[in-house]
Chains A and B, each alone.
Chain A
């Protein structure tokens, strides 16, 4: 396995009003291709912040972060946008689907950003909507779907451009236990069958249990008790 992500002594501070909040206080992270890694910890531990830095949607204050061997700390914004567009898929706690678009249109959107031709877009959208088991609901809008179905659409949207890395922030937080189990099973399957790298921030025990490796965090630092290969799919 090769390094996909390599972060050393990462620090990040946020300004909340006039108060500085140190979200990360010097943390190392290493993610190999094909891994299924979970950042776990209580609220305020910094797992979402670390996830955001790994997903290149936020910038580090200090430390170094390499993505596929390239230093991201001095990369211009335009290049970061390109990397996210081509190589990183996102899944969010609140699904964040466009409410006026159908499931099909939501999943198609990343391919339109990449300027794929219409025929190729159709092929990939169908493939991944079928993969997540929601092809027959492709014309429905998010308001016409359950939480589980919406999260499946979000997963398909994240996967359709065949990214190097899938970032998921609390993907099961708004789901019931049945749907949670389904989503976890799906992500494990994609990881094992297609070798997709998953990086997930969660405090859900079911998600933690499904991870290959868990990095425990507290107060913006690793708490020194990573669990490797906790539960391979």
Chain B
């Protein structure tokens, strides 16, 4: 109150610091949510069920460690509470050929209908619908289609080894393209249906079951329930154990936050400490008068402490409001960011607020502001009444 401009500036510094930190955390939150849900719904499922041998060993033949009678197991898992869908999957490699051109390909066999349920808004639904309509069809990565010089309606032959190790081939009609989002993958990737794969590989097994839940928060409970019905030779793998990209991406953002957080907090700390210290120095005579009147050192420290805390609280509240406004603006603006290195698709800049990040930043800022009163408090405790009243 004594120096309104200085107090306003300090409050502004705290507000801006709080709002920027919140935005950074909200963006990281969004990336965390986005990468996680995207991986789960477009790739791994919430968890996968496979044989222990598949998890621990290398197959010498395709589907050597596959799941027998998988329909029975899939049915049981589907009946569990919280489970939305169970998707059978087979992954194998082979040679894709048009007669004129050939190249090595990585094939995934799926049930398109089930993948549509798992994928929700995270996948190219049109492509899956096309494959569902044509069970003998094939989807190619766009770069693979270009490599083979094929278009929708053209026939592609896949040659591979069967589950017995014999050579086999199958012809499939291209029904469209499907991008994985990763440039290198798009040069090799193909998608066919499970029945097509069964005929090609001469096996009734599937490699794994990808389980999709109603909500990611249901994961612990669902895994516990699934564990209780799994045969002893089967194991479960969490989505982030199947695909480690999530951990790598989050580590990158975590390092950014680890750097940004102390920088912002130090700025808040110095700014508040400067305000409180200047206040103590300017008010030496006044504080000495309070001491003369019988105010204890501790009570005076409490007065200054509460002044600092109030500046902090007001700064935090304004910071919260600023961040909510900025977040709304950013989310509305739909600013497209370029694709990350190696990816083919960019994404809209979004931030995702949660009560947790507000609480974290709010408490942290108040703590930092509290610490900023420590140095000025030393001045109070050392205050000589006589000298301060005299203006020294």
Contact = CB atoms under 8 A, between A and B. Distances in A.
Interface in B269-327: 285-286, 288-296, 299
B294 A81 contact: yes
B2 interface: yes
Contact of A81 (B1, B285, B296): B296
Interface residues of A, number: 24
Nearest to A86: B294
A113 B285 contact: no
A92 B294 contact: no
B330 interface: no
B385 interface: yes
A85 B294 contact: yes
A109 interface: yes
Contacts of A92: 289, 389
A113 B386 contact: no
B285 A96 contact: yes
Given A84-B294, A100-B2, A90 B386 contact: no
Contacts of A85: 293-295
A1 B236 CA distance: 96
Contact of B292 (A84, A94, A100): A84
A57 interface: yes
Contacts of B295: 81, 85, 113
Contacts, number: 50
B42 to A, nearest CB: 61
> Helix, strand, loop or mixed for chain B's interface?
helix
Interface in B144-197: none
Interface in A29-79: 52, 55, 57-58, 78
A88 B295 CA distance: 12
B294 A82 contact: yes
A100 B290 CA distance: 14
Contacts of B385: 52, 57-58
Nearest to B296: A81
A165 to B, nearest CB: 13
A109 B292 CA distance: 13
A206 interface: no
B286 A96 contact: yes
Nearest to B295: A113
Closest 10 CB pairs of A and B: A85-B294, A96-B289, A84-B294, A100-B1, A57-B385, A57-B292, A58-B386, A90-B292, A52-B386, A81-B294
Given A58-B385, A84-B292, 12 more contacts: A52-B386, A57-B292, A78-B296, A81-B291, A85-B293, A85-B295, A88-B294, A90-B289, A90-B293, A96-B285, A96-B286, A96-B288
